[in-house]
Structure 1
Amino acid sequence: MPSYKINPLEHEKFFKASMKILIHGINYAPELTGIGKYTAEMAEVLAKCGHEVRVVCAPPYYPAWRVANGFSPIKYARQERNGVSVWRTPLWVPEQPKGLRRIVHLASFAASSFPVMLRQIFWRPQMVICVAPSLMNAPGAWLVARITRAHAWLHVQDYEVDAAFSLGVLTGSMFKKLALFVERTLFNRFDTISTISNKMIERALCKGVAPEKIVRFLNWADTSAIYPLNCPGELRAELNIPDDEIVVLYSGNMGVKQGLDVLAEVADRLASRRGFYFVFCGNGPGRDILMALLRKSGVETT
Structure 2
Amino acid sequence: MEFLLYSLNYKPELTGIGKYNGDLAQYLVDKKANVTVMTAPPYYPEWKVHEGFSNKFSAVNDSGVQVLRSPLYVPKSVSTLKRLLHLSSFALSSGMRLLSNLRLKPHVVFLVQPTLFCAPITLLYCKLTGALSVMHIQDFEVDAMFGLGMGKQGLSQRIARAVESWFLRRFDVVSSISYSMLENARSKGVEEQNLLFFPNWSDTKFVTPDVDGSSIRSKWGYSQEDKVILYSGNIGQKQGLEVVLDAAKHFHADPKVKFLIIGNGAYADTLKMMASDMGLDNLQFKPLQPWEDIPAILSMADIHLVVQKKGAADAVLPSKLTNILSAGGHAVVTAEAHTELGKIENKYPGIYHLVEPENTASFIDGLEQLVAVETRTPNLIARQYAIDNLNKDKVIDRFISDLNARLEKNSEKLGKTHAN
TM-score, normalised with respect to structure 1 = 0.90
Q: Which blocks of at least 5 consecutive residues in structure 2 are unaligned?
A: 285-420
Determine the C-alpha separation between the residues in 2 that align with 1:81 and 1:244. 44
User: C-alpha offsets along residues 43-100 of structure 1, whole Å, 9 cap, x if unaligned?
Assistant: 1111221211111100000111100112111x21000011111100111110112110
Cα separation, partners in 2 of 1:127 and 1:232, compared to 1, 3 Å: closer
Aligned to 1:148: 129
Asked if 1:64 corresponds to 2:46, the answer is yes
Determine the C-alpha separation between the residues in 2 that align with 1:173 and 1:270. 42
Instruction: Report the more deviating stretch, 35-44 or 200-209.
Output: 200-209
Equivalent residue runs for 1:278-297 within 5 Å: 278-297=259-278
User: C-alpha offsets along residues 226-271 of structure 1, whole Å, 9 cap, x if unaligned?
Assistant: 1114755222111101111111110001110011112121112121
Q: C-alpha displacement at 1:25, in angstroms?
A: 0.6
Asked if 1:116 corresponds to 2:107, the answer is no
Q: Is the 8 A contact 1:191 1:213 kept in 2?
A: yes
Segments ≥4 residues shifted beyond 4 Å: none
Aligned to 2:163: 182
Determine the C-alpha separation between the residues in 1 that align with 2:144 and 2:263. 21
Determine the C-alpha separation between the residues in 2 that align with 1:116 and 1:232. 45
SS in 2 for 1:274: coil
SS in 1 for 2:263: strand
Q: Is the 8 A contact 1:253 1:282 kept in 2?
A: yes
Aligned to 2:181: 200
SS in 2 for 1:116: helix
Q: C-alpha displacement at 1:274, in angstroms?
A: 3.4
Q: Is the 8 A contact 1:268 1:294 kept in 2?
A: no
Determine the C-alpha separation between the residues in 2 that align with 1:229 and 1:47. 30
Aligned to 2:395: none
From 128, 143, 146, give the equivalent of 2:109: 128
Aligned to 1:158: 139
SS in 1 for 2:272: helix
Paired amino acid for 2:47: W
Equivalent residue runs for 1:1-302 within 5 Å: 19-73=1-55, 75-229=56-210, 231-300=212-281, 301-302=283-284
More helix by share: 2
Paired amino acid for 1:42: L
Paired amino acid for 2:278: S
User: C-alpha offsets along residues 189-237 of structure 1, whole Å, 9 cap, x if unaligned?
Assistant: 1010111112212222222221211111111111222111475522211
Aligned to 1:16: none
Aligned to 1:15: none
Determine the C-alpha separation between the residues in 2 that align with 1:230 and 1:172. 48
SS in 2 for 1:280: strand
Determine the C-alpha separation between the residues in 2 that align with 1:142 and 1:230. 45
Instruction: Report the more deviating stretch, 285-294 or 144-153.
Output: 285-294
Determine the C-alpha separation between the residues in 1 that align with 2:209 and 2:89. 42
SS in 1 for 2:184: helix
Paired amino acid for 2:34: E
User: C-alpha offsets along residues 85-127 of structure 1, whole Å, 9 cap, x if unaligned?
Assistant: 1100111110112110011011111100111111221221111
Greater RCO (Cα-Cα under 8 Å, separation 6 or more)? 1
TM-score, normalised with respect to structure 2 = 0.65
Paired amino acid for 1:34: G
Determine the C-alpha separation between the residues in 2 that align with 1:50 and 1:120. 21
Q: Which blocks of at least 5 consecutive residues in structure 1 are unaligned?
A: 1-18
Paired amino acid for 2:52: G
Determine the C-alpha separation between the residues in 2 that align with 1:180 and 1:108. 21
Determine the C-alpha separation between the residues in 1 that align with 2:32 and 2:131. 18
Determine the C-alpha separation between the residues in 2 that align with 1:54 and 1:281. 32
Paired amino acid for 2:19: K
SS in 1 for 2:202: coil
Cα separation, partners in 2 of 1:192 and 1:295, compared to 1, 3 Å: same
Structure 1 vs Structure 2 CA RMSD: 1.4
Determine the C-alpha separation between the residues in 1 that align with 2:24 and 2:212. 33
Q: Is the 8 A contact 1:25 1:134 kept in 2?
A: yes
